[in-house]
Structure 1
């Protein structure tokens, strides 16, 4: 589910709250004609079988919720279609289905950053906002499903990046608190690595393969160093000393092996598995890792904290998964009812308890019994409420591809961080001028 789980399942990438609000259509992932979002009322008619389309369920929980629906609605069964775990592949397959106007996909689990693109191309339907309990949800999360004043996607889960860390090793090394800065984190690693059991461990990893997760990690680094990708007016502003400090943290960490060289291939699951296998002291990942790590050899040996930054706590990218309705689907009455069921507070509570997925409902973060059972909830709420959203752009595929290309070139030594940011500034200026 991390956007799944990909960070961008995610990926779960924050560019800025203002975003590059482009009016022109035409994504690198599709051949849209530049249409405006439709304004005609949608007729939610037709009942019968539908499909639910999402990234591979690495949590093992989605089918349980679908089974509950199917048991209560034997004539309106939902078939779960699982796509690859990475958000880029999910987006591409959903676009291909839409461009052929196929009814194979009904309800789509979309990354929070896709709403503008999908709505502008009329690939998804506007939804009746008054039929969903949006007032009970965290408003930054609700806003990810809106486009031009209309609701096109309903939050199923939210996401904020967290720092997972080995409490047992830090304590043994004399460290009593999680680091709040990058310098503190590297210093803590040096202490831990003096322990015999940690000499072969690496310090830190996130997601650095050339996919959406790289956009997320880069944006978090830039924002956590006081920089930004775009300014308050939505204009590119990445060629700055602050942004360079963020990118330099990643580049230098690869050079000095704070980040292991193999992390250049990491997506979410690679990092999770490395952490659970005691190969990492610190890990930047989404909260879904918590429940899985509790079932692994590191159970009872780790905790979570807000992401560190240059001079203090950093800023996560805002992630999560929304539900949208394909414009070409059949049985839209069934689909609408299923979306209400899947995004209900009851379902969100189930996903929280069984998959550590961040709920969109505000009151679940302030529940004393839940906080006791899931001690990371206060940090998660802080991560989400202070997260920097990714841009609501029609051309998001082009924007994230430009970021990935330049950042990857810097991480692999093909470009200096100075040159990569200069080139990225030019790329984004061209995109915003279209």
Structure 2
């Protein structure tokens, strides 16, 4: 999108054919995997499998904060100091352009990965100016988790529009078992999750945050309707006030505690909310549907995690082989089975055994097909800050929707134009 402003960051110095790239066969030894906090508790087990087979090239897990914004900050600090503390980076896909443009990650040999077996839009998240800088570890699309037991009580199907969702909530609240329940929540704290949820609301109203030419487009009627839905939700009680501080785990805990009728969440919630160890009050009592929208099914933001090699890492040949192992189809299948994480491999969505175990896979496949990426901007930190600042001001009531979107249009346009 911002080709003219980043050509200086598009050179070959990060390529796999450079003297520092991951192709040196003797560049082997211990490495690290830097990733956001492992809320699933499963990553170490996967690393143990690698470490058992590669005792001289062990991978050490480096857990960063749960917040995506804090993760990005630590990744950037590591890169700016040219530290070799992080070898393999597990990045939010939207950061790949920024990291590639700044030559903080190496180009990867695309032909050595089974990219043709993966969902094309997901593969594209790791691509920058026609070169592959990151490989999908998993992907993600937002889904609507809903209480089947309570909707059954009112004879309702999962809603496809925002209006239907509000109507269903009002009916459920009229039930003895639904008294006081929160209607809907997502990720509305002032962090990357707010960018995701705002972008989804705009897309679900028929708009876009940035158009195909890279121009900010939040000064539109569709963007206004999307943000207005969220603002009205807080005003009329559809969205509980405490959800203004929700990140992923806050909402998950609330849903599992039976405090929410509807919850916008990533697929990983499925396994945790179905736990039979007493940690979830809604195990076996919920289903999954596409996000609702203004006039019909909404559109999710595209999420996930992409694996890249730090420009400043040691033992890059080991790092490359580890990414091949960590991102392969067998591991993606395991991740789905253990954590319900969305796999990047197309065939897994049609696997009969997996579809039986995870009946939402067809819904997830549909959501991924229509998912929209967040703005692909080299100065993404400034872009997402512009979105978060204005969206938070509107949700808190400190700025009218029109003023918030006017400010967002101005600041987002400035972030896109940055040299």
By how many angstroms is 1:143 displaced?
0.1
Deviations along 1:31-55, one digit per CA (max 9) or x if unpaired, are: xx96434345234231111000000
Aligned equivalents of 1:355, 1:190: Cα separation in 2: 33
Aligned residue among 101, 120, 126 for 2:107: 126
Total equivalences in the alignment: 407
Aligned equivalents of 2:324, 2:50: Cα separation in 1: 11
Matched residue, 2:367:
383
- Structure with more of its chain in helix, by fraction: 2
Aligned residue among 189, 193, 208 for 2:188: 208
Cα 1:100–1:183, aligned 2, differ >3 Å: closer, same or farther? same
Q: Does 1:289 align with 2:263?
A: no
Which deviates further from its counterpart, 122-131 or 40-49?
Answer: 40-49
Whether the 8 Å contact between 2:113 and 2:324 is mirrored in structure 1 is yes
If asked which structure has higher relative contact order (CA below 8 Å, sep 6+), I would say 1
SS of residue paired to 1:114: helix
**Uncovered stretches (5+) of structure 1, i.e. residues with no partner:** 1-19, 26-32
SS of residue paired to 2:72: helix
By how many angstroms is 1:392 displaced?
2.1
Matched residue, 1:146:
127
Q: Does 1:405 align with 2:389?
A: yes
Q: Does 1:56 align with 2:40?
A: no
Whether the 8 Å contact between 1:222 and 1:229 is mirrored in structure 2 is yes
Whether the 8 Å contact between 1:224 and 1:246 is mirrored in structure 2 is yes
Aligned residue among 393, 400, 409 for 1:425: 409
Aligned equivalents of 1:232, 1:102: Cα separation in 2: 36
Which deviates further from its counterpart, 248-257 or 364-373?
Answer: 364-373
Cα 1:23–1:67, aligned 2, differ >3 Å: closer, same or farther? farther
By how many angstroms is 1:244 displaced?
0.5
Aligned equivalents of 2:412, 2:3: Cα separation in 1: 12
Aligned residue among 259, 268, 279 for 2:248: 268
Matched residue, 2:98:
117
Q: Does 1:364 align with 2:338?
A: no
Q: Does 1:157 align with 2:158?
A: no
**Uncovered stretches (5+) of structure 2, i.e. residues with no partner:** none
TM-score normalised per structure 2? 0.95
* RMSD (CA atoms): 1.3
Q: Does 1:326 align with 2:310?
A: yes
Q: Does 1:38 align with 2:22?
A: no
Aligned equivalents of 1:158, 1:430: Cα separation in 2: 29
Aligned equivalents of 2:43, 2:75: Cα separation in 1: 19
Matched residue, 1:312:
296
Cα 1:84–1:128, aligned 2, differ >3 Å: closer, same or farther? same
Cα 1:400–1:246, aligned 2, differ >3 Å: closer, same or farther? same
Cα 1:353–1:38, aligned 2, differ >3 Å: closer, same or farther? same
By how many angstroms is 1:240 displaced?
1.1
Cα 1:95–1:373, aligned 2, differ >3 Å: closer, same or farther? same
By how many angstroms is 1:90 displaced?
0.6
By how many angstroms is 1:430 displaced?
2.1
By how many angstroms is 1:62 displaced?
0.8
Matched residue, 1:182:
162
Aligned equivalents of 2:140, 2:287: Cα separation in 1: 17
Whether the 8 Å contact between 2:10 and 2:129 is mirrored in structure 1 is no
TM-score normalised per structure 1? 0.92
By how many angstroms is 1:242 displaced?
1.0
